[in-house]
Chain A
Amino acid sequence: MYTKVFLETLTSFVAFFVAGLLLSTPILVYVGLVPLFFAILGIVLNQPKTVIFDRGEHKTESFTGDVIEVAIDVTIKDGLGPVIIGDELPPHFELVEGNNFKVIWKGMSEKKDNVNYKVRCTKRGIYTLEHLNWESNHILNFKETIRGESDQKQTLTVRPRTLDIRRIRNLKTIAKLPIPLGAMNKTGMSTTDFQEIRKYTFGDTFRSINWKATARRANNLSWEPYVNEYEKEGKKVVWLFIDGSKAMGQLGTTISNPFEYALLAANDLAHYYLERNCRVGFYLFNKKSRLLYPDIGRSQQYKISRELLTMTMDNEEPLRKAVEKCRKYMIGSNPLCIVITTLAERMNSDELSNIIEGVKEIAKYSKKQTRNFPPILLINVLGYYFIANSPEKRMAADILQSEETPIKRKLRKSGTIVIDWDPTEEKLMTVLLKEVRSR
């Protein structure tokens, strides 16, 4: 309980006292009284032992890059001396204003103070500010430091900021991208929403024949029945395959790397398609794979956002295996498959063949569309530019990037649309728009 400093002071008294007695020198005994009384008075004074914290009302949700204000009320009940308070910040939090460390002087009366600071949340995730530590020191360092931790917690969900993907209206455009805006499922249950009147084909029920329309269109030369066509339940299926292998985090920092931008892109694309009533499925392919089967609506958006918050990189899982795992949800739906990955740092043949095989596997479940190509889109997050912070380094990144040309050529040959995205320079929307041209 007592420190070395206290023992030293007492030793000083004992030394003077004993020397004075042994050498018959009263002055030394008298001088020794000063450290004795100093030690006694010192231990009578106690350091603060009761520190109460209150985090008050606080924000629970924010977006990446937002600045959050943290305010903690501190009440020190007893004791005398300095109290050191430190609120441990989670990783990826950047201190913007104020300080999460504070020293408060506690005098004779009860002390009320507060710790205020602002932090920037730099990475998505669910964070808990729970390590609010305090320690109180004895004014003369005679007693051991008392340490404590508050049980007050502040949970903060940091959501990825949206990249703003919008649809271009009122322009006669043709997209190379197989994005199924308004594309409906051709099979499935009919809804009550009228779509069109068409000629009768084999298999149509007699109940669906529109007799009035048939009569109006009938003439001497031909007589064909017409049927009412209704919208089928559900729209097109979109599958998002996100690469969660460690290769995604090899370039850049822990905050800004291809993986983080891949998640951002996935979040926005999911949001975009779900807004247009598409059924969106999600798969993160690595050893800790995560699968969300295709669904529609806000609940699916919420599920995807929540999953994205806690996703981490792990060892590689081949894309082909990932597609095989999703097989039962893909069969018959002719989905649009979007693969988000990086080709940088993947020059060995195994890794490349994994991607090509994966794309081939996806093609099995997709009906060939324009120019006999399956609807597969591969977003290649350009990794080298994350570490290129000068014109010279950008040139070097350009050269390294050119090494990806053969694999891209191979992918394009198989019908995949490959889009290169440099998040440090352009928005995802800008990149996607490059694939749109006038009719």
Chain B
Amino acid sequence: MKNKIANLLQLLSTVSLFSLAFYAFTQTSIFNLLITGLQMLCTQIPLLRSYESFLPSIFTILLYVMILLVGIFGGKGKLNLVYYFSLLLYIPVAFTFSAVNWLEILGVGLPLESFLSFNQVLLVGIALITCRLFLINLSRINEKKNEFLKRGENKVDIINKKLIIYTSAVLALSVVIAVIAMIVLVIGESAVTTFFVTLPYPLLLFGLGSTFTLIVFLYYYLRRGLSIESQQKQTF
């Protein structure tokens, strides 16, 4: 029973992960372009003409049905499949904040825009990767639990719980550190740029190079000395 609940939770998390990516995708000009293209295609086919206005809903439902089918029949690699598909939907969203307009380069001639802010898109990205890391670890913990159960250990629930808690804690800490690093990078970007521009590169190159060589030399010299000393001790 507990296993079924865990599987259901896993499936729900996967669907949420996909929903987040899909929502971000719908907030881009590419999605509008895609729907317009499909509507144009429908006008050409008399049978589908009456469904023209339902196209966005039909498209969404079809995608969800596909994800559910992958979730049910996907086997061991279902998590990866859903993740890669979600990533496929997310990348165009991320490109909207790229320094280069990829649609123009590809010759489509449309502006690549998102109705979401930079922070919102970043948040979706972080949620996506965090969710994936968590789900992968969760499935690994479940595999371990089943292995323990097979070997006759009945008190695996406590171990399982602890593993989930520690994994979640490490993941949460990673996210926090990553967010802090992002803030530092964004705020300190200009300061860092100025600092790096003013650096005396030729001097740095020589200085760092010679320091590095010296460290490597010292490391090997000391290591050799220590090994000879230990050999002598063994001999006596």
B33 at the interface (CB under 8 A from A): no
Interface bin, chain B: 35 or more
Q: A23-B95, A25-B98, A27-B97 in contact; A34/B126 too (CB < 8 A)?
A: yes
- Please name the residue on chain B nearest to A9 by beta carbon: B133
Chain B residues contacting A5 (CB-CB under 8 Å) are: 140
B158 to chain A, nearest CB (A): 7
The interface residues of chain B lying within 8 Å CB-to-CB of A80 are 166
* A12 adjacent to chain B (CB < 8 Å): yes
From B125, B148, B166, B167, give the contact of A27 (CB < 8 A). Answer: B125
Q: Mark A1-42, 1 if CB is under 8 A from B, else 0.
A: 000010001001000100000011111101111111110111
* Residue in B closest to A40 when the chains form the complex, CB atoms: B174
Interface assignment of A71: CB less than 8 Å from any CB of chain B: no
- Within the assembled complex, what's the spacing in Å between the Cα atoms of A360 and B99? 107
Check A139–B163 contact: CB distance below 8 A. Answer: yes
Query: How far is it, in angstroms, between the C-alpha of A265 and the C-alpha of B162 when the chains are bound?
Result: 55
> Are B174 and A105 in contact (CB-based, < 8 A)?
no
Q: Which residues of B contact A37 (CB under 8 A)?
A: 173-175, 177-178, 181
Please tell me if A102 contacts chain B, counting CB pairs below 8 Å.
Answer: yes
Cα-based distance from A86 to B152 in the complex (angstroms): 11
Which residue of chain B has the shortest Cβ distance to A107 in the bound complex?
A: B162
Residues in A with CB closer than 8 Å to B91 are 28
Question: Given the interface contacts A38-B133, A140-B170, does A27 sit within 8 Å of B122 by beta carbon?
Answer: yes
A34-B133, A103-B153, A105-B159 given as contacts; is B167 within 8 A of A139 (CB)?
yes
**Cβ-neighbour of A41 out of B95, B152, B170, B182 (below 8 A):** B170
Cα distance, A30 to B124, chains bound together (Å): 12
Please determine whether B158 and A105 come into contact, CB atoms closer than 8 angstroms.
Answer: yes
Q: Which residue of B lies closest to A31 (CB)?
A: B125
Is A101's beta carbon under 8 Å from chain B?
yes
Q: Which of A100-152 contact B (CB under 8 A)?
A: 101-103, 105, 107, 137, 139-141
Q: Give the distance in Å from the alpha carbon of A24 to the alpha carbon of B100 in the complex.
A: 7
B128 with A103: CB separation less than 8 A: no
Chain A interface size band reads 35 or more
**Complex formed: what's the CA distance from A38 to B154 in Å?**
31
- Contact of A82 with B by CB under 8 A: yes
Question: Is A187's CB within 8 Å of the partner chain B?
Answer: no
Q: A101 is contacted by which of B122, B129, B152, B173 (Cβ under 8 Å)?
A: B152
Name B170's closest neighbour in chain A (CB-CB). Answer: A41
Residues in A whose Cβ lies below 8 Å from that of B102: 23
Convert A355-388 into 0s and 1s, putting 1 for each residue whose CB lies closer than 8 angstroms to a CB of B: 0000000000000000000000000000000000
B153 partner, pick from A25, A34, A101, beta carbons under 8 A: A101
What residues of chain B lie closer than 8 Å to A32, measured between beta carbons? 129
Q: Is B144 part of the contact surface with A, judged by Cβ < 8 Å?
A: yes
Q: How far is the CA of A32 from the CA of B178 in the complex (A)?
A: 9
> How far is B178's CA from A40's CA once the two chains are assembled, in angstroms?
11
B21 to chain A, nearest CB (A): 12
Q: Which residues of B contact A25 (CB under 8 A)?
A: 94-95, 97-99
Q: Is the CB of A23 within 8 A of B137?
A: no
Chain B residues lying within 8 Å of A26, measured Cβ to Cβ, are: 97
Whole-angstrom CA separation of A80 from B169 in the bound complex:
14
Restricting to B135-155, which residues have a CB under 8 Å from any CB of A? 137, 140, 144, 148, 151-155
> Cβ of B128: which chain A residues have Cβ within 8 Å of it?
31
Interface: B11 (CB within 8 A): no
Contact between A41 and B174, CB atoms less than 8 A apart: yes
Closest chain B residue to A83, Cβ basis: B159
Contact A139 B166 (CB under 8 A): yes
- B121 contacts the other chain (Cβ, under 8 Å)? yes
Q: Report if A45 contacts B (CB, 8 A).
A: yes
Contact partner of A24 (CB less than 8 A), chosen from B98, B155, B175, is B98
**Does B15 count as interface, using CB distance less than 8 angstroms?**
no
Query: Which residues on A sit within 8 Å (CB–CB) of B10?
Result: none
Pick from B130, B137, B144, B152: contact of A34, CB under 8 Å: B130
Q: Which residues of A contact B171 (CB under 8 A)?
A: 38
Contact A34:B159 (CB < 8 A) given known A99-B153, A139-B166: no
B95 to chain A: which residues have CB within 8 Å?
A: 23, 25
Nearest B residue (CB) for A95: B152
B156 within 8 A of A: yes
B122 touches A31 (CB 8 A): yes
**CB contact list, A52-109 vs B, under 8 A:** 80, 82, 84, 86, 99, 101-103, 105, 107
* Minimum CB–CB distance for B152 against chain A, Å: 5
**With a CB–CB cut-off of 8 A, which chain A residues contact B100?**
23-24
The interface of chain B, by Cβ under 8 A from chain A, is 91, 94-95, 97-100, 102, 118, 121-122, 125-126, 128-130, 133, 137, 140, 144, 148, 151-156, 158-159, 162-163, 166-167, 170-171, 173-175, 177-178, 181-182, 185
A–B pairs, 21, beta carbons within 8 Å: A9-B133, A23-B98, A23-B102, A24-B99, A26-B97, A30-B125, A31-B94, A33-B181, A34-B130, A34-B133, A35-B174, A37-B175, A37-B177, A38-B171, A41-B173, A41-B177, A84-B148, A101-B152, A105-B158, A105-B159, A140-B167
Q: Pick the 4 closest A-B CB pairs, nearest first.
A: A24-B99, A31-B125, A33-B178, A37-B174
Given contacts A23-B102, A82-B159, A103-B153, 6 further A-B contacts (CB under 8 A): A9-B133, A27-B125, A28-B94, A30-B125, A31-B129, A41-B173
